[in-house]
């Protein structure tokens, strides 16, 4: 089970996307990068709409991919803390420009209705 890898990667983008392809992985990365350390319930609260199963699953995969570190405390009220590994941090850094691009895209979408806004591309299909 786990992950049927996409076999031999053709390029770096491919390999990287394989690791972040999951509905919540981007957000998990963001959350862990922002807060440094987070507990299971905290992450869950930070990702509105995620189910425990998906959160666990994604966390496990990311742990296996060496992105996330999982620290378990053998206490009476169980406590588990998640944080990014060096590897995970470097991924996040590499994701920086993409994040900014995404922000621009969001901004663009907000003004997409204004047709005067953009004169450069706008392919007009007739």
Partner DNA sequence: CAGAATCCATCACGATACTG
Partner DNA sequence: CAGTATCGTGATGGATTCTG
Residue 121 sits at φ, ψ, to 5 deg, of -110, -90
- DSSP run (H or E) holding 69: strand 68-73
Options 19, 32, 59, 62; binder of its own copies; rule CB under 8 A: 19
Report yes or no: 29 and 92 within 8 Å, Cβ to Cβ: yes
Which of its own copies, DNA, none has residue 89 at its interface (CB below 5 to 8 Å by kind)?
A: none
Asked if 53 interacts with DNA (CB under 7 A), we say yes
Tokens 């189910």 appear where?
A: 51
- Contact mark string toward its own copies, 38..57, x via CB under 8 A: ----------x---------
Burial of 70 (0-12, 13-18, 19+ CB in 10 A): middle
> Which one, 13 or 119, has the nearer CB to DNA?
13
Which of its own copies, DNA, none has residue 80 at its interface (CB below 5 to 8 Å by kind)?
A: DNA
Options 34, 36, 51, 103; binder of DNA; rule CB under 7 A: 51
């Amino acid at each position: 089970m786990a992950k049927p890898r996409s076999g031999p990667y053709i390029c770096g983008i491919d390999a990287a996307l394989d690791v972040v392809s999951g509905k919540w992985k981007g957000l998990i990365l963001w959350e862990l990068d922002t807060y440094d350390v987070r507990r299971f319930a905290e992450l869950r609260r930070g990702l509105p709409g995620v189910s425990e199963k998906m959160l666990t699953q994604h966390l496990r995969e990311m742990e296996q991919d060496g992105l996330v570190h999982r620290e378990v405390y053998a206490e009476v009220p169980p406590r588990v803390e998640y944080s990014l590994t060096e590897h995970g941090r470097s991924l996040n850094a590499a994701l920086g420009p993409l994040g900014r691009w995404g922000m621009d895209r969001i901004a663009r979408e907000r003004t997409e209705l204004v047709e005067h806004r953009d004169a450069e591309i706008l392919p007009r299909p007739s």
